[in-house]
Amino acid sequence: MAYVSGSDYTRGVLAVLIAARAAGIPVILWGAPGTGKTSLIYALGESEGLLVKLLLGSTMDPTDLSGLPALKAVTDGEGQHVYNVTENTVPQWGDELIQAGKGILFADELNNSTPTVQSGLLTLLQDKKIGNRKLPDDVWILAASNEPEDAADGYELAPPLANRLLHIQWNPPKEDWFDGMLANWGDNLASAEQVQERSKIVAFLKNYPNLLQAQPKTDAAAGKAWPSRRSWDNAAKALAAAPNNDTIRNMILTGLIGEEASVQFFKWEKSLSLPSHESVLNNPEALDWKAMRADVALTILNRVVAFVRADNLKQSVNVFVAAKHGTKGDIASSLMVSFLGRVKEQKLDVSALSPLIKDMADLMVKSGMSGAGNQ
Which pLDDT belongs to residue 153? Answer: 64
Is there a contact between 107 and 143 (Cβ–Cβ < 8 Å)? yes
Which pLDDT belongs to residue 359? Answer: 66
Residues ≥6 apart with Cβ < 8 Å to 360? 317, 320, 321, 336, 353
In a 3-state reduction of DSSP, which class is residue 247?
helix
Which pLDDT belongs to residue 367? Answer: 55
Distance CA 306, CA 293 (A): 20
In a 3-state reduction of DSSP, which class is residue 127?
helix
In which region does residue 103 sit, left (phi positive, over 0), alpha (psi from -120 to 50) or beta (all else)?
Answer: left
Which pLDDT belongs to residue 369? Answer: 46
Which of 72, 342, 45 has the alpha carbon at shortest distance from 186? 342
CATH of domain 8-65+92-172: 3.40.50.300
Tell me the backbone φ, ψ of residue 28, rounded to 5 degrees.
-125, 135
Residues ≥6 apart with Cβ < 8 Å to 361? 370
- Angstrom CA distances, 111 to 127, 148, 155, 158, 315, stand at 21, 8, 5, 9, 53
Residue pLDDT, tens place only, 4-46: 888 899 999 999 999 999 999 999 999 988 899 999 999 889 8
Crossing angle of the two packed helices 259-271 and 246-257, in degrees rounded to 10: 130
One-letter amino acid of 319: V
Which pLDDT belongs to residue 229? Answer: 95
Distance CA 112, CA 152 (A): 7
β strands within the chain, DSSP E: 27-31, 52-56, 69-75, 81-88, 103-108, 129-130, 133-134, 139-146, 166-169
Give the sign of the dihedral formed by CA 341, CA 44, CA 373, CA 360: positive
Is there a contact between 336 and 305 (Cβ–Cβ < 8 Å)? no
Sheet with 52-56, edge to edge strand ranges: 52-56, 103-108, 139-146, 27-31, 166-169
Is there a contact between 26 and 143 (Cβ–Cβ < 8 Å)? yes
Which pLDDT belongs to residue 356? Answer: 65
Is there a contact between 144 and 104 (Cβ–Cβ < 8 Å)? no
One-letter amino acid of 104: I
Which of 3, 75, 83 has the alpha carbon at shortest distance from 39? 3
Residue 156 parent element (H or E): none
DSSP string, 42-99: HHHHHHHT--EEEEETTT--HHHHH--EEEEEEE-TTS-EEEEEEEEPPPHHHHHHHH
Which pLDDT belongs to residue 115? Answer: 86
Domain positions in the chain = 8-65+92-172, 175-366
Residues ≥6 apart with Cβ < 8 Å to 356? 314, 317, 318, 321
Specify the DSSP class assigned to residue 200. Answer: H
Which pLDDT belongs to residue 70? Answer: 74
Which pLDDT belongs to residue 373? Answer: 31
Ranges in the chain, pLDDT < 50: 369-375
